[in-house]
């Protein structure tokens, strides 16, 4: 049994996310087909972080610089095996949302409760910021959406147009605090 430790990441430690094997095989993904969301066969290997390592490191740094929450998980050898970020800015018209911007777990460490534990930690932070809901633009893979729904996420009631524009294939979900 592995022991995991969780702690906030400092700006000087953002390079540690490169220890994570973010690659994933995506068998099915959700897509709009004939005006209806349905699963399609994708059979795609995503090697590493989507859009590249530097994009995710930069986003992590921006979260920390702007006062957001960045928590990493380390195995018993002190290797970074996952991280989560929650951006501090509140947005939304009907509800006060905070954005769960990134959540990655190393391939060999998935399905061990690490993602749920990281999420529970950022929920505590979101409540301290007096948010109503956590918002996520989730990648459209079947497994990703199933993970968020297992945490209690539902389809977002209020879609942020700028986030939708970033990647129209993302599925926008919310979690009631």
pLDDT at 2 over 80: no
User: Domain ranges in the chain?
Assistant: 5-176
* 144: its two tokens: 């990703």
Distance between CA 117 and CA 109 in Å, rounded? 13
How do residues 86-119 score in pLDDT, each as one tens digit? 999 999 999 999 999 999 999 999 999 999 999 9
Tens-place pLDDT, residues 141-177 = 999 999 999 999 999 999 999 999 888 899 999 999 9
Q: Please give the CATH architecture assigned to the domain spanning 5-176.
A: 3-Layer(aba) Sandwich (3.40)
The better pLDDT of the pair 58, 51 is held by: 58
Residue 1 has pLDDT above 80, yes or no: no
- In this prediction, residues 41-70 reach a mean pLDDT of 96
């Amino acid at each position: 049994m592995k022991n995991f430790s969780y702690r906030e990441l400092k700006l000087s430690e953002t390079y540690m996310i490169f220890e994570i094997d973010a690659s994933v095989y995506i068998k099915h993904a959700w897509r709009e087909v004939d005006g209806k969301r349905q699963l399609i066969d994708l059979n795609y290997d995503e090697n590493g972080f989507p859009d590249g390592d530097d994009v995710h490191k930069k986003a992590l740094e921006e979260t920390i610089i702007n006062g957001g929450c960045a928590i990493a998980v380390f195995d018993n050898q002190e290797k970074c095996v996952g991280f989560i970020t929650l951006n501090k800015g509140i947005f939304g018209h009907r509800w006060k949302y905070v954005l769960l911007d990134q959540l990655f777990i190393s391939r060999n460490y998935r399905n061990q409760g690490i993602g749920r534990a990281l999420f529970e930690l950022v929920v505590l932070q979101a409540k301290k910021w007096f948010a109503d809901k956590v918002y996520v633009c989730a990648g459209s893979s079947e497994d990703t959406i199933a993970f968020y729904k297992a945490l209690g996420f539902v389809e977002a009631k209020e879609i942020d147009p700028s986030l939708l524009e970033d990647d129209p294939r993302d599925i926008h979900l919310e979690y009631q605090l």
